[in-house]
Chains A and B, each alone.
Chain A
Amino acid sequence: MLIDKQNITRFIPQRFPFVMIDELVKADESGFESSFKIDDDNLFLNEGILSESSLVENIAQTCAAGFGYVNSLKGEGEGQLGFIGAVSRLSVEKLPATGATISTKIEVLSTFDAIHLIQGTASSEGEKLVECQMKIVIA
């Protein structure tokens, strides 16, 4: 693990109750991995099931933490402001329930200037939940 739950907000701009990742597990120039346990006080639960939009947010926050961590290794500061420029090829397979742990993998497909095209996949217990491509702009 690279960043634990206590330190994750050093690398992302979101604060409770909008934090949707617990730990950054892996990060290098080619991609990132995070984990997130769904507690029963999660704001995005509907009758015990996490919403699609929060899974997309989980992918975006994994990117924020990953880019923040990688850039911090280059001395560029820990938390950098970023924006979702576009979401495409979104596919929702299954929604997770309270108590599940989400494992999210990001592959950086291409970079042009400050714009990154990524492929994100969120899974739980080996089952794919959601995948999409995103354009992330780092300010």
Chain B
Amino acid sequence: MNREEIISTTKRFLSEEFEVDENTILPDNNLQKTLDLDSLDYVDLVVVIEENLGFKPTADDFKAVDTFDDFYNLVEQKLAELA
């Protein structure tokens, strides 16, 4: 899955799961604020990532994630590790 495919795939399931407009999911936007995530929502985020991308991120993985661009980096890295 290349970067563009990661962006389109994650946009689709994140907007669906967290009921936000796909157009608000932009690379420089803050992931937590855009998706309106509280601490309990992160377990839902882990579930949809595992269902759609096949890996399970940990709390440590999210320490380096502020923006969606950071999130795409994380997904790229995890998918490369799986390959």
Contacts and interface: CB of A to CB of B under 8 A. Distances in A.
Nearest to B40: A85
B40 A137 contact: yes
A86 interface: yes
B46 interface: yes
A111 interface: yes
Interface residues of B, number: 12
B42 to A, nearest CB: 5
A116 B47 CA distance: 11
A110 B56 contact: yes
Contacts of A135: 40, 43
A132 interface: no
Interface in A13-28: none
Interface string A111-139: 11101110000000000000000010100
A28 B58 CA distance: 20
Nearest to A112: B43
A117 B59 contact: no
Nearest to B47: A110
B22 interface: no
A110 B46 contact: yes
A103 B56 CA distance: 31
Interface in A89-114: 109-113
A45 B35 CA distance: 42
A38 to B, nearest CB: 31
